[in-house]
Amino acid sequence: MGRELRIAVIGAGPAGIYTADTLMKSGTPCSIDLFDRLPAPFGLVRDGVAPDHPRIKGIVGALHGVLSRPGVRLFGNVAYGRDLSLSDVRMLYDAVVVATGCERDRDLDIPGIDLPGSHGAADFVKWFDGHPDVPRDWSLGARHVGVIGAGNVALDVARVLAKQAEDMLVTEIPDNVHRGLAANRATDVHVFARRGLAQARFTPTELRELDRRSTRCPAPCPTPRAGSSTSTTSTSPASTPAAGSSADPSG
């Protein structure tokens, strides 16, 4: 083919942007249009990775570099399936790559999962990352919180709930999230894993971070107190058929 290829990438998260990067470096002359349903790019790096993990969020620098290249364009606020159909992109582009990620929690089929106070971790992490899809207010009225799952997301949720709100001020959390965390009444955060530590999916770094957190207490609290705890509990598969991460951070 004599002319440069026109390629559409749906989803401007890391997968979509690295796809653009790889295509631009491939030596095949091409131009790339990225479409995202949100006004801003970077997907779950912006709206999922915990705010107190600035080193990981720092990859947005590299992703931004790709978006700044000549031949790469970003169109925000364009939802595939709503504003753009497959026939539209097929008509306008030589190829289309769909990189829309995984935005929903895996279903957890246990009795009571739909009761008030039971939430999927996806919504909770979106709240503390200021994602536009979730309400701005989240009432953290529960004293005892169970986090089901033993991956990095579960530990992110447990750590954020166990931290002092002030410790999060060095991060980019929005004001409404800081207010919500300052009103957090949790005294005990329990992480439930269906198998043993050897099968845990979190990294040692995430686990160590739980140990380094400063203690949190229900406001007002004049001195750092003993009693705000995070425990990791390993249970049998029969008693906790956990799949994925589910948090219960409400009152």
Instruction: Tell me how far, at minimum, the Cβ of 198 lies from ligand FAD, in Å.
Output: 21
- What character string, x for contact with ligand FAD (CB under 6 A) and - otherwise, covers 21-60? --------------xxxx----xxx--xx---x--x----
Nearest to 160 by CA among 131, 129, 134: 129
Among 8, 72, 125, 150, binds ligand FAD (CB under 6 A): 125
Q: Is 209 in the site for ligand FAD (CB under 6 A)?
A: no
- What character string, x for contact with ligand FAD (CB under 6 A) and - otherwise, covers 132-161? --------------------xx--x-----
Q: Which is nearer to ligand FAD, 79 or 221 (CB)?
A: 79
CB closest to ligand FAD, residue no = 13
Q: Which is nearer to ligand FAD, 9 or 217 (CB)?
A: 9
Structure tokens at 91: 């008509």
Structure tokens at 173: 């959390």
The residues facing 98 across adjacent strands are: 10
- What character string, x for contact with ligand FAD (CB under 6 A) and - otherwise, covers 80-119? xx-----------------xxx------------------
HEC readout, 194-229: CCCHHHCCCCHHHHHHHHHCCCCCCCCCCCCCCCCE
Q: Which is nearer to ligand FAD, 100 or 164 (CB)?
A: 100
- Between CA 179 and CA 141 the distance in angstroms is 13
Q: Which is nearer to ligand FAD, 160 or 165 (CB)?
A: 160
The residues facing 79 across adjacent strands are: none
Nearest to 17 by CA among 131, 122, 132, 100: 100
Q: What are the Cα distances from residue 45, in Å, to 50, 197, 231? A: 9, 27, 27
In this structure, are residues 117 and 248 in contact, taking their beta carbons and an 8 Å threshold?
yes
Burial of 188 (0-12, 13-18, 19+ CB in 10 A): middle
Q: β-strand 30-35 against 5-10: which pairing, if any? A: parallel
Among 8, 12, 20, 191, binds ligand FAD (CB under 6 A): 12
Instruction: Tell me how far, at minimum, the Cβ of 99 lies from ligand FAD, in Å.
Output: 5
Instruction: Tell me how far, at minimum, the Cβ of 239 lies from ligand FAD, in Å.
Output: 26
Structure tokens at 75: 């169109």
Amino acid at the residue 208:
R
Q: Which is nearer to ligand FAD, 16 or 149 (CB)?
A: 16
Residues lying near ligand FAD in the complex (CB under 6 A) are found at 10-16, 35-38, 43-45, 48-49, 53, 56, 79-81, 99-101, 125, 152-153, 156
